[in-house]
Structure 1
Amino acid sequence: MVQEIIIFIVFALAAAYVIRLLIANFRPKAGGGCAKGCGGACSTIDFEKIKKDLETKSAPVR
């Protein structure tokens, strides 16, 4: 009888852990508006800087 109770407690704890993981997986991440949860780094991309870098790298070398 005691062994069955211990097995039930271990099973209940494991099931609660799996349920908590599933809930955390579907809950939106804090600190970000996008699905990646990166904290909003997507909005800090400077396209002008990227364009300048590409222009300087693609310029012919003398």
Structure 2
Amino acid sequence: MDVQVFIVGVLFAAALFYVGRIVYRMFRPKPGAGGCASGCGKCGADFSKIGETARIHAN
């Protein structure tokens, strides 16, 4: 019985590690990613001038 509990504990710990790694990699910014928050790297949008552009279009 003790060996079975140990094996289940190891499998459970491995599953927690696997899910934790997926969650960590989901929120970690990727190196070389674009400027958006998703970090997919597809867009290189520059949001630094968005306020200036909004004021220009508001007039």
Return the TM-score normalized by structure 1: 0.56
Provide the C-alpha distance between the structure 1 equivalents of 2:27 and 2:44, rounded to a whole number of angstroms: 21
Greater helix share, structure number: 1
RMSD of Structure 2 on Structure 1 (CA): 1.8
Unaligned runs of 5+ in 2: 46-59
Structure index of larger Rg:
1
Q: Percent identity of the aligned residues?
A: 38
Structure 1 stretch 16-25 or stretch 30-39: which is displaced more?
A: 30-39
Higher relative contact order (CA 8 A, sep 6+): 2
Residue 42 of structure 1 is matched in structure 2 by 44
Return the TM-score normalized by structure 2: 0.58
Unaligned runs of 5+ in 1: 44-62
Provide the C-alpha distance between the structure 2 equivalents of 1:4 and 1:10, rounded to a whole number of angstroms: 10
